[in-house]
Chains A and B, each alone.
Chain A
């Protein structure tokens, strides 16, 4: 009988009866009785449940911080999982634990185990100890007591530890990967190749495709759903590929945000900066571009960039494949052109032609780990100071990610100057009638959408001007 196998704090666990709809958090607290890992929100936003995972078979792999509340235990298969209980060695605290104590960085202590694990992944991850990196690393962990100053200080102390935590993965007790797991009425699949995936897709048309699970995970953690059929893409080797060449960056359909970031940094730095504001590291370590597209959320952060950049998706079924521009892939509110037998095998982002200018902006109440009020991606080509081509793509303004066609049309052929933007506020109302919700009023969204374009105009024409508070 197939079983889920993984290392938990260095010990092999073989689970053949556990429900795959159980979250890792519930497994840890309820079954394994490692209660150091806490539930603070069960929606992947507070970080109290943070644990660290790595591929159990890859000694060189870095541990990554993830939200155990959003993860299914099935996603642990083949992993080495570390919790706060697994860090001290021979009674000695891990340097991260020591640093937090020495900095007086705990008060109520409930968030602390999550911070410990985030900082553990950061410390062994070979990253610099500058404030920008530290805040990026900590963005997925909330503390309500300390005001963070001592936690950040502790973080500075521990940066640059060697990647020696791989020693936790004992070769003698390596987990055997599972491809097909049944528990009761639940049947979950972990295919390893694209043909296997597309075949399963046809055989199980009602099964849910699970990429990173950072959205679907809410069904498990908050809705407490039992999912009878699920196909995980995370092991499909073809879909883990990232390639740059042939005029484009290609991201496999199972590539996570974190895996793509170094490549985005090189080819699309503005897009990369925006991706760093999607969720938190814990989210980005699991979440995938394909998943973000497939949910077709009107506030999905990647979609405006992908549309502005003219990206396309490669859709595969067991018999055929096709390519569709992302703009055509999104067909409505949470609706896509994906056929029942298709999966998103890859996303292709063409490199920006010489002379094109591109920017991506996100507005939210909090800089980090927040859902966008408005997200915008702009692409501009000018000739002699005149707008030659312009793509203005917005999220948060309509039921889908959408272009501001009226504004685009009005500005094309006009000088790329502040004076040309005088009337865009009124034009925006032709393109969008945004809703009012907890993130902002429709009026604010309209004003902000127009002003982001003004920011773009300033940034493309006066590079020395200060236009962002986060630059200070």
Chain B
């Protein structure tokens, strides 16, 4: 019996390490560029627009074609199907037609025998441009009402009346910048023509199905003629969702033209210039509130720089609107979302997907209210938190049913002793003139599910072989986040076999079709459930065989510890698998899952878009140098709700990584365009993501205990990919706190994000000038 009580290795809720960890540290884990290619595979390079806005007057590809080794040269007119790769709307060209609309836009592409030949030929493509005036800023686009998709609104109550009758009223505006994904593995794809008009595409993509559709449209062939495969990505963060289709699409058109396999791997500068980023936002607000800080009405405009085409912008705007409440009950509101069109690279999905911008808006507003009233930020927040049973309906009419904000606030208070931390910070500031400290907390409530209900579905394919080993495939992609190991844990748990017997295989549209992107933090929620569904089907059939074998009712069959039991009798899992084969019982199943309860009305921006919310809270302490604007994060305390974590080790990594990435967004990562709309920060020499020293020297991260998801998610876990990124807004608020301290703490802080040394120094001077 002791054997029966043994836990299997690598079941759910265990801190099992990443399945590729050994491959990572030995260099044996293969990324797309490491895969051996067949003889004759061509290398490709892009020709990018040097102008932000221009008409293509003339294009001569002949000199490039004449370069030795060049096999194919393509421009828009060479695309045999439809030159459109729009993920949501339409008319978003793969290669520019007549007009270029951002510096770095792909105009032509070359395939040659070697990479150097392709890159050299790309420089010889002659294009004459008639340069047009670019629109580069959100303000300019707003003034001209240039949008990439229709503006959106979300309203409740009579905001004008609420503002007019409120005791206090404040208005203001600020910018928050974009962010490059800076996945370490740049965009890459390999397109291999088949022998019957079909194409095999290897793509570093979070969305194999979208690449499949994109390539099929571009080549004018049916979806079943395109198979897209990805084993792993070297990071993605949203940047390899729609953007991967650009790379795979060009590789596919070149391969079609050359009738040979073509690999396209972007150099870092091209990658950063040609592909989209996190949306910069201009945030304008007008807020009315009581003397105690209770918000009565909020008129909020969230204007996003969508770049040249819609891409993901409409959905990013929706998610921004859905997160501008964060944890707060707003009785009357008008949220406007403006998807501005500019002549800069189209902005796209990025971890958080508008959520961070919506949240930084409300948090900055509450910070302004608190300073206006001279009350602690935390007290003003508490006045406005969603309650349980009242004041619990979001601006989009979803009731917050799983509110644990108070619990998080209490646990952080206890764990970090916020009161004495605050006292120490104040004492430091009294004793120091040059260096000033700031301290702030940040609660997060993040909605889990794609806003668009249709995307909340997933498929999986599970095979059990007659030696008891299991092969697992699902629609989710592995980008380092640990999805494969989490879903494998689910399957191991279902079959009650050690995880060593479960092999994860490359994601491919040929095995699981019509998949959703691995995005919106939904990977393990959706694919875990689909895989569980497949495993349960096989398990049920195996249980039938076992029941017959032991001659007991099926209900008495249990799976545990690599065995299948009928009372005291048992059979090893592999033996039962072999027995199933003998009995001609199928050991393969496809699994499917659709998230329940959700619905969304695009026209009114109302509904229940989210199955549940993931919560978290953080406190951060920073120090700024009031002479230079230099800043350092000194300490961060994080508490994240992961439901009943599927894998605490993986989740911890997600929390820490998201926080540091969010910190980078708000501090050192500045995208800088010159007056002609040319991105000047297009490599790590000029674009500065956090390094190891930038991580707070005191960095305590905890996963909330005893907090199962109240909804029936996979083993009651919660999504974790995006929510903790927004905990980094505590750093932003702490910087504001430090700046405010130079004049006593009660003056409004004028600061845009990212808070670079320059911006901090300017804000300090602004504070002093009003002292």
Contacts and interface: CB of A to CB of B under 8 A. Distances in A.
Interface of A: 29, 34-46, 48, 83-85, 87-88, 93, 96-97, 100-101, 104, 106-113, 116, 131, 134-135, 138-139, 141-152, 222, 224, 363-371, 373, 437-441, 444, 447-448, 451-452, 454-455, 458, 465-470, 472
A131 B694 CA distance: 12
B693 A458 contact: no
Contacts of A149: 656, 695, 699, 701
Contact of B668 (A43, A134, A366): A366
Contact of B690 (A41, A85, A150, A366): A366
Interface centre among A37, A93, A97 (most CB of B within 10 A): A97
Interface of B: 15, 17-18, 20-31, 33-34, 116, 119-120, 181-186, 232-237, 267-269, 432-435, 479-482, 623-625, 627-632, 634, 649-650, 652-653, 656-661, 668, 670, 672, 680-681, 683-686, 688-695, 697, 699, 701, 756-758, 761-762, 765
B653 A145 contact: yes
B21 A101 contact: yes
A369 B235 CA distance: 22
Pairs of residues from A and B, 9 with the lowest C-beta to C-beta distance, nearest first: A36-B27, A108-B480, A110-B234, A109-B24, A147-B660, A45-B684, A107-B480, A147-B656, A35-B34
Contacts of A42: 267-268
11 contacts: A43-B685, A84-B27, A104-B650, A104-B652, A110-B31, A110-B234, A144-B235, A147-B661, A366-B691, A455-B628, A469-B632
A166 B53 CA distance: 57
Contact of B20 (A106, A135, A448): A106
A116 B761 CA distance: 38
A469 B691 contact: no
B64 to A, nearest CB: 15
B183 A144 contact: yes
A440 B758 contact: yes
A41 B435 contact: no
A208 B674 CA distance: 33
B670 A109 contact: no
A87 B623 CA distance: 41
Contacts of B267: 42, 222
Contacts of A472: 435, 623, 632, 634
A111 B184 contact: yes
A438 B177 CA distance: 14
Given A38-B184, A469-B632, A365 B757 contact: yes
A152 B691 CA distance: 11
A85 B29 CA distance: 11
A438 B672 contact: yes
B668 A139 contact: no
A364 B482 CA distance: 34
Contacts of A35: 27, 30, 33-34
A212 B683 CA distance: 21
A135 B628 contact: no
Contacts, number: 268
Best-buried of B234, B435, B628 by chain A (most CB within 10 Å)? B628
B590 to A, nearest CB: 28
A45 B631 contact: no
Given A87-B26, A142-B684, 15 more contacts: A40-B186, A107-B235, A107-B480, A110-B31, A110-B184, A138-B692, A143-B692, A146-B653, A148-B695, A363-B628, A368-B693, A438-B680, A440-B757, A465-B432, A465-B433
B692 A151 contact: yes
Contacts of B30: 35
Given A38-B184, A146-B656, A108 B232 contact: yes
Contacts of A34: 27
Residue in B116, B435, B479, B692 whose Cβ sees the most chain A Cβ within 10 Å: B692
A466 B761 CA distance: 17
B758 A148 contact: no
Contacts of A39: 33, 186
Nearest to B632: A469
Given A107-B481, A107-B482, A444-B761, A142 B653 contact: no
Given A45-B685, A146-B656, A469-B624, A101 B184 contact: no
Contact of B632 (A84, A142, A148, A470): A470
Contacts of B17: 101, 104
Contacts of B22: 93, 97, 101
A162 B685 CA distance: 34
Contact of A224 (B120, B482, B758): B120
A93 B268 contact: no
Contacts of B656: 146-147, 149-150
B184 A43 contact: no
B25 A97 contact: yes
A143 B691 CA distance: 8
B20 A451 contact: no
Contact of B693 (A96, A139, A364, A441): A139
A469 B432 CA distance: 12
A109 B480 contact: yes
A452 B757 CA distance: 13
A170 B568 CA distance: 61
A370 B688 contact: yes
A299 B482 CA distance: 42
